Amino acid sequence: MKKNFGTIAGSLAVLSALLFNTNTSAQEDQDFAQYVDPMIGTAKMGHTYPGATVPFGSIQLSPDTDTIPYAVDGHYNPDVYKYCAGYQYDDNTIVGFSHTHFSGTGHSDLGDFLIMPTTGDLKLNPGTESDPESGYRSRFSHDRETAEAGYYSVMLDDYNIKAEMTASTRVGMHRYTFPEGKESHLVFDLMHGIYNYEDKNVWTFVRVENDTLVTGYRQTNGWARTRKVYFAMSFNKPIKEYGRERYDKQPYRGFWGKFDQEHNFPEIAGEQIRMWFGFDTTEPLEVKLAISPVSTEGAIQNMKEEIPGWNFDEVRQQARETWNKELSKVDISEEDQEEKVNFYTAMYHAFLGPTEYMDTDGQYMGIDRNRHQADGFTNYTSFSLWDTYRALHPLFNVLQPERNQDMVQAMMAHYDQSVHSMLPVWSHYGNENWCMIGYHSASVIADAIVKGNADFDHEHALDAMVNTAKTGYYDGLQYYMDMGYVPEDKNGASVSKTLEYAYDDWAIAQAAKKIGNDEVYEEFMKRSENYMNVYDPKSGFMRPKLSDGTFKKEFDELNTHGQGYIEGNSWNYSLYVPHAPSEMIEMMGGKDQFSQHLDSLFTMELPDKYFENTEDISREGIIGNYVHGNEPSHHVAYLYDWTNEPWKAQDKIRMILKMKYMNGADGLSGNDDFGQMSAWYIFSTLGFYPVAPGSVDYAIGSPAISEATLNLDNGKTFTVTAKNQSDKNVYVKKVELNGKELTEPFIQHDDIMNGGELKFWMSSKPNKQLFMKQ
């Protein structure tokens, strides 16, 4: 893969600063974007995409490399899992460039409004990877592919077309340079989608408004059950001719037969439609496509406000400057270029979502399918909360506090519009898809309240958390409230649900305590102890319990399937009591025995049979039986801080950082899960981690950089320095906060936000007396 990094010219930096209302300090003039590699995680398990986007942008303009169907003969097709982000690095053909993608998810949707430039005979079928000539797809090579922050380009070898793309928040911009003397077309595929299947398209509508503007919408029934996206597409040169092919058959055809709808007819509608446009391409063809959640009028206005002209290079430069502004929130001095690539790519991935979901005037489509106005906040969508509550939203409370407040307000708007009166579980595009377990919006909201980053109605937020936690028909919750646990014979994944509900209840209690509501605090602190009800002291593991109060007899603590867990086994989930680690450790035999138990987790062997049928975990994501490629274990290495051997956390953390995060297309050991894997990397590289969001405490680990400065939004800086840090010197000899030696392995949120210095002295040998002075 080629990189075109370059240095930002001063004049363009000043221009961009004016456009985006940023300052032009020396800090922000640095080209942090040169270290971002969007290709990391595009192979195997990462499920990231390499295309053009801006921080938290609504547009993700990226290549899709195949058209694998979600189902074959009515059954789920496991091969589709590779294409959650639309792109697989190992593929050698590109189908086209669509405008919406998820980053790092383990399920998918989107892939809206695919554009593919072609020459020669017009083809409207995408063809196959084994026979590209049968359709409009093209071969490509990574040697002629470039991926940067805010920009993507590739040479389409079968057509000798150079394809380039960049983006603003709501608009994707393309530039296609065609070979001379060729018949040139754009295929506009409105049937294409990610996790696609027959009849996923509910309806498509297109209007050719004039010879340079096309508008319309697409409605789908997928992960989001009722999702409608509007678009406006504009060209820098007039359309010579255009047409469409409709592939759906309906018994009622109306009286449209009087028109030739396949050639130059300006109003197109149907379930399955592909269109094409012909151009004179003696000069590069540029395309702008804006999206809107509410109307084509909104899409047009978004385009006018964000990219009013036709200067592709300027838009590309603005996107890069926008990334530099966000990436400058952390300045690491590490001379190791590979480490800088890993770090700033992790920041890049962490800042891809949630994504803005409203027009420039603040209008958006609510979960009640009505138009709403975001009054005083930016509305967001794509809340992958089972993943992101753990470290991503806590990271936002440090580096993106205003955005995180807006995200909470978006969650509250969801609650107010919900017929269930529930906060979001996994929501996107004005829909709730109910994916995964828990009610982890409560964790995000509580964490913001407890850490003082909560410029919203606290009482209303607490009501929303409590009402969500008392919705009995949600996923075994009535059993949990009545019995103190979810019984496995009544509701599957029962142990995982019990443990996650208990944590969320604790988070609600912390918010109630901060607000001063003692009644709710006492009620939910009691509920937070329910983890005890699924602990089996005989086996030493959390274990599924039946409705008669007995433990399930058939039990394999290494197996995920049928054992009461989801995306984890008992070895990993039995350690999921992040809100009460001391009590958990005592329950499991005390500090010394627990420390040995953690040792075994990292050193034991997990046979292949336990994950060979699990699509979201492979051997690459596992150390011993510690599964870093999935989220329930992300706090586990830090649990040593609650034992008599906190030094054992340090080499484990550094081992995970080194083994599970690498530069390259296959550099991630599991789905990035909308930034959670990356947020773990960022915190852990800095030397501390939020084990229990909803607490102000961060557990100390082992910093993997020599110096990093956090440039906080409040104008203060927090610097982490690590003396003698290296791949061998992974143990903390001593650590000071603002010149005062720490006597316990924790710092607090205000220690960071008030500014100061966290200083580590590193060694190749563990200091077994560290933190033993308390």
Report the distance separating Cα 326 and Cα 396, nearest Å.
Answer: 12
| In the chain, % of residues over pLDDT 90 | 91
Per-residue pLDDT band at 649 (split at 50, 70, 90): very high
Per-residue pLDDT of 706-739, as tens digits, reads 999 999 999 999 999 999 999 999 999 999 999 9
pLDDT at 19 over 70: no
Per-residue pLDDT of 79-135, as tens digits, reads 999 999 999 999 999 999 999 999 999 999 999 999 999 999 999 999 999 999 999
Report the distance separating Cα 213 and Cα 221, nearest Å.
Answer: 27
pLDDT at 17 over 80: no
pLDDT at 251 over 80: yes
Q: Residue 615: its pLDDT value, please?
A: 74
Report the distance separating Cα 503 and Cα 440, nearest Å.
Answer: 9
- Show the DSSP H helices in 432-493 as ranges: 441-450, 458-469, 477-483
Written as six digits, the tokens of 243 are 């047409």
Rounded mean pLDDT of the chain? 94
> Residue 354: how many CB atoms within 10 A of its CB?
27
Per-residue pLDDT of 396-414, as tens digits, reads 999 999 999 999 999 999 9
Report the distance separating Cα 53 and Cα 547, nearest Å.
Answer: 49
The three-state (H, E, C) secondary structure of 517-585, written as one string: CHHHHHHHHHHHHHHHHHEECCCCEECCECCCCCECCCCCCCCCCCCCCCCCCHHHHCCCCCCCHHHHH
Per-residue pLDDT band at 527 (split at 50, 70, 90): very high
Average pLDDT, integer, range 412-437: 98
Which residue has better confidence, 239 or 74? 239
Dihedral pair phi/psi, residue 262, rounded to 5°: -90, -15
Strand pairing report for 330-332 and 707-711: antiparallel
Average pLDDT, integer, range 463-489: 98
pLDDT at 8 over 80: no
Query: Residue 14 pairs with which residues in a beta bridge?
Result: none
Which residue has better confidence, 619 or 651? 651
Give me the DSSP letters along 46-66: -----SB--TT-S--BEEE--
Per-residue pLDDT of 568-627, as tens digits, reads 999 999 999 999 999 999 999 999 999 999 999 999 999 988 887 677 777 888 999 999
Q: Residue 190: its pLDDT value, please?
A: 98
